[in-house]
Chain A
Amino acid sequence: MPNPRKPDGSVVTTCAYCGVGCGFKAETIRGEIVRMIPWKEGKANHGHACVKGRFAFDYWRHADRVKKPLIRASIAEPWREVTWDHAITHAAAELKRIQAKHGRGSAGAVSSSRCTNEEIYLMQKFARVALRNNNIDNCSRICHSPTQFGLSATLGAGAACQHFDSILQADVILVVGANPTEGHPVFGSLLKRRVRQGASLLVIDPRRTETAESAHCRADVHLALRPGTNVAVLDSLAHVIVTENLHAAKFIAERCHPAEFEQWRALVGDPRYAPEVVGPEAGVDPAEIRRAARIYASGPNSTIYYGLGVTEHSQGSTGVMCLGNLALSCGMLGREGVGVNPLRGQGNVQGGSCLGSWPHMFTGYRFVTDAAVRATFEQDWKLELDPEPGLRLPNMFDAAVAGTFKAIYIQGEDPVQSDPNQNHIVAAMKAMECVIVQDLFLNETAKYAHVFLPGSSSLEKNGTFTNAERRVSMVRKVVPPLAGLEDWEITVRLTNAMGYPLHYDHPAQILDEIARLSPAYQGMSFALIERCGSVQWPCNPQAPEGTEVLHTKTFPRGKANFMLTGYVPTSERTDERFPLLLTTGRILSQYNVGTQTRRTGNVAWYGEDVLDVHRTDADARGIQDGDFVTVTSRYGETRLRARISDKVNPGVVYTTFHFAQSNANAVTSDLNDWATNCPEYKVTAVELVKVPTGKPASSRTPASVRA
């Protein structure tokens, strides 16, 4: 074999895949990207990486990349290639026409967690200054919006308390509804390291995941609870803590409101939350609940990491509050090795949360209804802003079906594949008059679009990402944008075409504007990030180089709050027609809806979504390993290949959502979190029927599907 070629150029940038946000060096030979190697000084990854960021970057130059803007009058027609000017002018004209005819509230926008902070900021600015409303949302609506709600309500800040390294000082690690070895692999490796050093591991998850049970990582306690019983089990842990007097009285007295603690203690201390009552309902051994609670409470340093298994439920926000309450009750906050930490899925979903891409909030989690906050934006942006909260994404779809919402500008998201109750979303898309999609590829949502604006991958632009640690890192341009414009430039042009003058020479100026208008980002600038490598917000005069650990001295509201988290079972129930519970998750080699990873060599490991079925359930239905099965719920049906697995309990089935053809979301319900409308992906009552041998048909909707 010959010697390998030696790269002659190198650009440090940040991975665009998951919320770990690994630092990478994009190495080039004569300007062509040849490999991505982990950056040793990346503070999120310290020189480690996973298959996606390390190797699966070739999607950026896949043949499917759209390189020219496209428009069409109706979705029944084929696309026409046009110039940028034509596409932008046309899109703006359509938006104006629709707002004139149907009202200001009939148009909205959705920003992308795979785009930079600067781009997300511009999208929410677009909605507010160009559309003149607050109909702006982001994809964390469907994953971690309960984190923002629940942690704000309890701790005062809707973001991770710690940085990843902090786990190295944890004695007890509680992982709830997350599988870091698959979803956040580099962090998962760090977690495993700490467990090998002797930390205790507690896992709450319906499945025997790799984190819970594998040759080299095994939980001391694994509560394999029935999907939908999170709050009951978490309140039961709290029950043990208060009835056995394991709580941290001094911490509570100093840093919480004693009256609130008493209210909470009375609630969780109720016999209805005793392990002996909750255990049988959740399918968990009561003695194990007690053991887990005692281990967590005794620490000395106990940390919580959680994921979508907590948030994607009808009590998602409540579940997050339970975690906040747990940490508060045992004083596990404000130092290394503790905290409550959401594992943010996408590379910049934290950024989306911070930068006001919400219908009810500006940057920094400040309410649109707050006149003083609104005034600062009105002053900087020089126009009057809508004082009322706008529509959330699911409500935009509802309104579209109801006929009052007609136009949408979607950047870097694929709701038709990723959002639940797909039939409803397709109906919504078809009901709209102008759907503008800005993306790298023609995705499922683009099938219903009237304007397609070809976007740029993270290798083709400059900007910043904020990872799950609140860490803001540089995204650096390695190659010029394939379609000619960086994503932020497209939004600027569209904003101008709508009549609001906007100009930036460079994304650094956008970050400067963000710093002016967002207290947590006050000290941020490209220069600071270049100097420090990365900066964790809050970054302000008190913390000029950022903040690693939150809540060390006070909470943002001074003291923290215990929230009353009563268990309300989901209305998604099993019955004779739908006796099994379907829950969903991720796999290491594929990323989200697979838009990028399906177009790389990663399909070698995982070429389709499979349905994990317990042997008992499979035998009862004559299903064998490898058979195709029809999965039916009250909302729709789909076909998946079955795999006999002992990783799920009887009564529970599991699949992933990486491939469009598996249509997992044709089946998921329209139930969602009470506070944020985050969909309840994790609990759907289903039945399985083996497909008679022969070709599997594509999924279709039963006649009685809900509109």
Chain B
Amino acid sequence: MWSELRNLREGVDLGTPPRDGAAVSLTVDGKPVTAPAGSSVMVAAALARCPVPKLCATDTLEAFGSCRMCLVEIQGRKGFPAACTTLVEPGMVVTTQTARLQELRKGVLELYLSDFPAGDVPGGWSELHETMQQTGVTTHPYVAGENHLQAAVDASNPYFLFDPTKCIVCSRCVRACEDIQGTFALTIEGRGFQSKVVASQGECFLDSECVSCGACVQACPTHSLVEKSLFEGGEYRAQSPQA
């Protein structure tokens, strides 16, 4: 856990935690790069300045591999491994950009966008919006189908709210509550399309075990969990009660 905490850098998100093993040499998009043993290919790509698009990965949490955005091609391996869960090996040759990879990423993002409030696509600045820009995908071709766009906002906590309509079930919040905070207040309830983030046994945040540390808010890539104080006007501005 040493380098995983001490080598974090502000303004830099390598995607998976920094390690401090022996240097491993590999090639990413033709560029030679070294990364400590135990690093993911995602980290190596970031160090080589060929960052791979990501959603469920962040370097304060161990890799999870659920969003399928970070797929890459590795010489000598079949299919399209996820860069976050694949560890670097000496002599590895990685390609982060091909027509096929772009197709796959576009497919994934379009599916996410089909269940995301369309009005919040322009003007947003979350990691999801950055990933959309990075891949050049901001629209989807689907007609309106089953979705979660009617889900109610949980504004019970005095300081932050949870808007499930923007949630992509990347589980970063769940993982943050477990690994970083250690409270285990959040979980994913249901399976497949029914999956959703819940606090405790499906209570609102304020009634749950949540201790309001904000780690989930910090981890959320879509502003689904977000500080009330970032909204203009009465309803979401934190009200400080009179002493």
Contacts and interface: CB of A to CB of B under 8 A. Distances in A.
Given A1-B153, A4-B231, A41 B10 contact: yes
A582 interface: no
Contact of A47 (B60, B117, B165, B223): B60
A34 B60 CA distance: 24
Contact of B229 (A1, A35, A189): A35
A601 B158 contact: yes
B17 to A, nearest CB: 11
A189 B180 contact: yes
Interface in B104-161: 117, 120, 123-125, 153, 157-160
Contacts of A441: 243
A59 B120 contact: no
A189 B241 contact: no
Interface in A33-57: 34-35, 37-41, 43, 46-51, 54-55
Given A35-B227, A49-B214, A168 B1 contact: yes
Nearest to B122: A3
A599 B243 contact: yes
B242 interface: yes
Given A41-B10, A601-B238, A51 B213 contact: yes
A58 B242 CA distance: 12
A604 interface: yes
Given A58-B240, A601-B158, A193 B227 contact: no
A46 B211 CA distance: 19
B223 to A, nearest CB: 6
B218 A47 contact: yes
Which of A1, A55, A598, A601 has most B Cβ within 10 Å? A1
A217 B241 CA distance: 34
17 contacts: A3-B123, A38-B218, A50-B211, A55-B158, A185-B211, A185-B213, A189-B181, A194-B1, A196-B182, A216-B182, A216-B184, A588-B211, A601-B159, A601-B239, A601-B240, A603-B241, A604-B157
Contacts of A58: 238, 240
A192 interface: yes
B182 A192 contact: yes
The range of chain A's interface size is: 35 or more
B240 A59 contact: yes
Given A35-B230, A46-B6, A185-B213, A3 B182 contact: no
A1 B162 CA distance: 11
Q: Please provide the 7 A-B residue pairs with the shortest distance between their CB atoms, ordered closest to farther.
A: A601-B158, A4-B230, A192-B182, A55-B159, A51-B212, A54-B214, A46-B5
Given A3-B124, A4-B231, A48 B2 contact: no
Contact of A41 (B9, B123, B158): B9
A165 interface: yes
B182 A189 contact: yes
B32 to A, nearest CB: 28
A214 to B, nearest CB: 9
Nearest to B165: A1
Contacts of B215: 48-49
A165 B211 CA distance: 23
B243 A62 contact: yes
Given A49-B213, A63-B242, A168-B1, 10 more contacts: A37-B218, A41-B9, A51-B214, A54-B213, A168-B2, A193-B1, A194-B1, A217-B182, A599-B243, A601-B158
Contacts of A168: 1-2, 5
Given A49-B214, A51-B214, A601-B158, A165 B240 contact: no
A121 to B, nearest CB: 29
Contact of B184 (A1, A37, A169, A215): A215
B229 A40 contact: no
Contacts of B238: 55, 58, 600-601
Interface in B187-243: 206, 211-215, 218, 223, 226-227, 229-232, 238-243
Contacts of B2: 165, 168-169
A145 to B, nearest CB: 30
A40 B9 contact: yes
Interface string B2-35: 1001101110000000000000000000000000
Contacts of B229: 34-35
Interface of A: 1-7, 25, 34-35, 37-41, 43, 46-51, 54-55, 58-59, 62-64, 165, 168-169, 181, 185, 188-189, 192-194, 196-197, 215-217, 441, 588-589, 598-605
Given A40-B60, A193-B179, A216-B184, A3 B214 contact: no
A38 B214 CA distance: 9
Nearest to B180: A48
Nearest to B156: A604
B183 interface: yes
A216 B227 contact: no
A691 B153 CA distance: 42
Contacts of B159: 51, 54-55, 601
A527 B184 CA distance: 41
B214 A40 contact: no
B163 interface: yes
A639 to B, nearest CB: 20
A55 B214 contact: yes
A37 B180 CA distance: 15
Contacts of B184: 215-216
A39 B240 contact: no
Given A40-B60, A49-B214, A165-B2, A3 B240 contact: no
A34 B243 contact: no
Nearest to B226: A4
B212 A55 contact: yes
B206 A604 contact: yes
Given A55-B214, A165-B2, A216-B183, A5 B239 contact: no
Contacts of B157: 604
A11 to B, nearest CB: 13
Contact of B6 (A59, A165, A194): A165
Contact of B241 (A54, A169, A601): A601
A25 B218 CA distance: 12
Interface centre among A39, A49, A59, A188 (most CB of B within 10 A): A49
A165 B223 CA distance: 30
> Which interface residue of A47, A49, A599 has the most chain B CB atoms within 10 A?
A47
Nearest to B124: A3
Contact of B8 (A40, A49, A589): A40
Contact of A3 (B5, B8, B223, B239): B223
Contacts of B242: 63-64
Contacts of B231: 2, 4-5
B166 to A, nearest CB: 8
A25 to B, nearest CB: 8
Contacts of B1: 168, 193-194, 197
- In this complex, the member of B211, B232, B238 whose beta carbon has the largest number of chain A beta carbons within 10 angstroms is B211
B64 to A, nearest CB: 18
B158 to A, nearest CB: 3
A259 to B, nearest CB: 40
Contacts of A192: 182
A588 B179 CA distance: 19
Contacts of B241: 599, 601, 603
B165 to A, nearest CB: 8
Contacts of A34: 227, 229-230
A48 B213 contact: yes
A5, A48, A62 pick with most chain B CB within 10 angstroms: A48
A194 B1 CA distance: 9
Nearest to A168: B1
Contacts of A38: 214, 218
